[in-house]
Amino acid sequence: DVKVTQSSRYLVKRTGEKVFLECVQDMDHENMFWYRQDPGLGLRLIYFSYDVKMKEKGDIPEGYSVSREKKERFSLILESASTNQTSMYLCASSSAVRGEASYEQYFGPGTRLTVT
Amino acid sequence: GIQVEQSPPDLILQEGANSTLRCNFSDSVNNLQWFHQNPWGQLINLFYIPSGTKQNGRLSATTVATERYSLLYISSSQTTDSGVYFCAVEFQSNYQLIWGAGTKLIIKP
């Protein structure tokens, strides 16, 4: 079974703090994703990484950065947290080898971040 | 623009009832997945189904790619089926999914 883990289920931070959210997958997947989920807005892609040290901006990258130094780990960084970044953050991974199974994205349990 | 629309937005049923959830999409797709998000927030893959029909227990899904829609069927609903069901579509060959807004399903005992 694919396993995607996230460093925290719940996190409370103050405005202006630097926040690190970590995601680890154990399936040797090339692709990793960070989403945020807000009520009524569904899932929105923040950043996507298709290889170590490679990244692409998603729909809402402003205020975020990412780091992928190892294949299994993808970090989301909020350089200076703001209250409008209070949200549920979801990490996912998928294979880049084209074939039926490769298209499927597998998700971690999510981190509910509150910025006060 | 590229769109993924799900209906209905909310559905409340009694245990044992059957339901059909719909996903309409605006262009041809490389990938279409159905997910269930449980009340604790975990997203679980249900089906990878860019075309055709698949079944898994009480759940089945059909995608008619030429008509740009997919249906998720849930038979003999149980309270554990409650949650939000998402349809997500990859339109371009870039591994990135475009998500519908979801259908919130509540199954009452």
Substitution target in B37, B92, B93, B95 with the highest count of A β-carbons within 10 Å is B95
Number of Cβ within 10 Å of residue A96's Cβ equals 11
User: In a 3-state reduction of DSSP, which class is residue A45?
Assistant: strand
Nearest partner of A48 among B82, B97, B64, judged by Cα: B97
Q: Is the pLDDT reported for residue B90 higher than 90?
A: no
Q: Is the pLDDT reported for residue A87 higher than 70?
A: yes
Q: Is the pLDDT reported for residue A101 higher than 90?
A: no
Q: Tell me the pLDDT of chain B averaged across its residues.
A: 93
pLDDT at B31: 86
pLDDT at B101: 92
Asked if A58 contacts A46 with a C-beta cutoff of 8 angstroms, the reply is yes
pLDDT at A55: 94
Q: Tell me the pLDDT of chain A averaged across its residues.
A: 92
Q: What are the chain B neighbours of A94 within 8 Å (beta carbons)?
A: 95
Asked if A19 contacts A77 with a C-beta cutoff of 8 angstroms, the reply is yes
Q: Is the pLDDT reported for residue B99 higher than 80?
A: yes
**A65 CA: distance to closest CA in chain B (Å):** 18
Substitution target in A10, A36, A107 with the highest count of B β-carbons within 10 Å is A107
Residue A60 CA to residue A85 CA, distance in Å, equals: 11
Asked if A78 contacts A63 with a C-beta cutoff of 8 angstroms, the reply is yes
| Residue pLDDT, tens place only, A36-66 | 999 877 899 999 999 999 999 998 999 999 9
Indicate the residue of A41, A101, A109 with minimum beta-carbon distance to B41: A109
Average pLDDT over residues B14-42: 93
Contact A104 B95 (CB under 8 A): no
Q: Is A10 exposed, middle or buried (0-12, 13-18, 19+ CB in 10 A)?
A: exposed
Q: Which of A71-85, B14-28, B90-104 has the lowest mean pLDDT?
A: B90-104
Contact A103 B99 (CB under 8 A): no
Q: Which two tokens stand for residue A93?
A: 């991974």
